[in-house]
Amino acid sequence: MAWLNYHHLLYFWTVAREGGVAAASRRLRLSQSSISTQLRQLEEQLGQPLFDRSRRRMQLTEAGQTAFRYADEIFGLGREMVDVLQHGSAGRSVRLALGLTDTVQKMIAYRLIEPALQLPEGVQIHCEEDRLERLLPQLASHELDLVVSDEPLPAGSSIKAFNHPLGHSKVTIFAAPTLAGRLQPGFPASLDGAPFLLPTATAALRRDLDRWFDQLAIRPRIVGEFDDSALLKVFGQAGAGAFGAPKVVAREIARQYRVKPIGDAEGLVERYFAISVERRIKHPGVRAISNAARIDLFTDHG
């Protein structure tokens, strides 16, 4: 049995974290030549390159990404061991690597994830936000335990994963008080020609609002399109235009951004999904999120 040299692994892990040999050299207080030599020895032992050295900045190969994930877990366990022995910490917290699509509003995201924080053994959440198509490969390679999205896994996806419905919410239209006062009479027809703020085309809510406008033959005046839903609401707070958001967090939106609901977009429903590589969920954090959502997490208010 070949034994792993953990000094070599530490040097590799530090180079990957710091972004290069020079930065790792400063962190470890070792010469660059010493680190480079021991990196090559680790690659020889493992039988494949861990870094792509053909570019100016060293980038992990596919094998390097796999090695880095294991190294991160190994050194994480080492830190926990020291903490338990020195400070008497009781037990290990559960690590939940979570992907969140950037189209899920932050208030909704917290409501979905919060049940995992209540696990008796404790949880340590690692949350990465990105587009769904960028998160799914990380899910498939087990870098992520779960992806939370406002749309399900696309039909025909090459990623083998499963959709677990988390809940749904109606959509409410909001605006700053003065604008809301003008638009409430005759809603929703009053939105025709009115200033409106929209998410970008990658968001499920944007596509739903576009269809809703078409069905009602409404043509609002589009003032802005936003990737960031929080920034969109700040513009709405300033009176730049009306906007749509999930009704389930209507009270929080009205309080935080000092806007008023104009009315519900009848027929529009936003849905939320947990996407995992497990059909039957085993991870306790993922299970806590899924079970809580099915009970009453998304009961509409207001």
C-beta pairs of 251-260 under 8 Å, 24+ apart in sequence: 251/301, 251/302, 252/107, 253/107, 253/174, 254/174, 254/302, 257/174, 257/233, 258/176, 258/177, 259/174, 259/175, 259/176, 259/177, 259/180, 259/233, 260/174, 260/175, 260/176, 260/177, 260/180, 260/181
* Mean per-residue pLDDT over the chain, rounded: 86
pLDDT over threshold 70, residue 300 = no
Which amino acid, one-letter code, is at 196?
F
Query: Is residue 13 scored above 60 in pLDDT?
Result: yes
At residue 164, the pLDDT reads: 85
Mean local confidence (pLDDT), 118-123: 78
pTM score, whole prediction: 0.66
What is the rounded average pLDDT of the residues 243-261? 95
In which residue are the tokens 């796999």 written? 66
**According to the model, what pLDDT value does residue 294 have?**
47
**Residue bearing tokens 């559960």:** 94
pLDDT band at 62 (very low <50, low <70, confident <90, very high): confident
For residue 242, is pLDDT > 50? yes
Alpha helix locations (H) across 93-161? 106-117, 132-140
Joined tokens for residue 121: 């053994």
Instruction: Assess whether pLDDT exceeds 60 at residue 112.
Output: yes
Mean pLDDT confidence for 219-225: 97
Q: How much is the pLDDT for 86?
A: 65
Q: How far apart, in Å, are the Cα atoms of 160 and each of 62, 69, 142, 152, 259?
A: 19, 21, 12, 13, 42
pLDDT at position 202: 84
Q: Is the pLDDT of residue 162 over 90?
A: no
Are the CB atoms for 114 and 293 separated by under 8 Å?
no
Contact 96, 124 (CB under 8 A): yes
**In which band, very low, low, confident or very high, does the pLDDT at 205 lie, cut at 50, 70 and 90?**
very high
The residue type found at 293 is A
Higher local confidence (pLDDT), 12 or 156:
12
Most confident of 1-15, 24-38, 47-61, 129-143: 24-38
Q: What is the mean pLDDT of residues 89-118?
A: 82
> Across the strands, what pairs with 273?
149, 165
Over residues 207-227, the mean pLDDT reads 95
Q: Which residues contact 138 (CB under 8 A, 6 or more apart)?
A: 99, 128, 144
Quick one: what percent of the chain has pLDDT higher than 90? 40
User: How confident is the model at residue 281, as a pLDDT?
Assistant: 67
Least confident of 129-138, 162-171, 271-280, 286-295: 286-295
Q: Is the pLDDT of residue 296 over 70?
A: no
Please report which residue ranges of 118-156 form alpha helices under DSSP H: 132-140
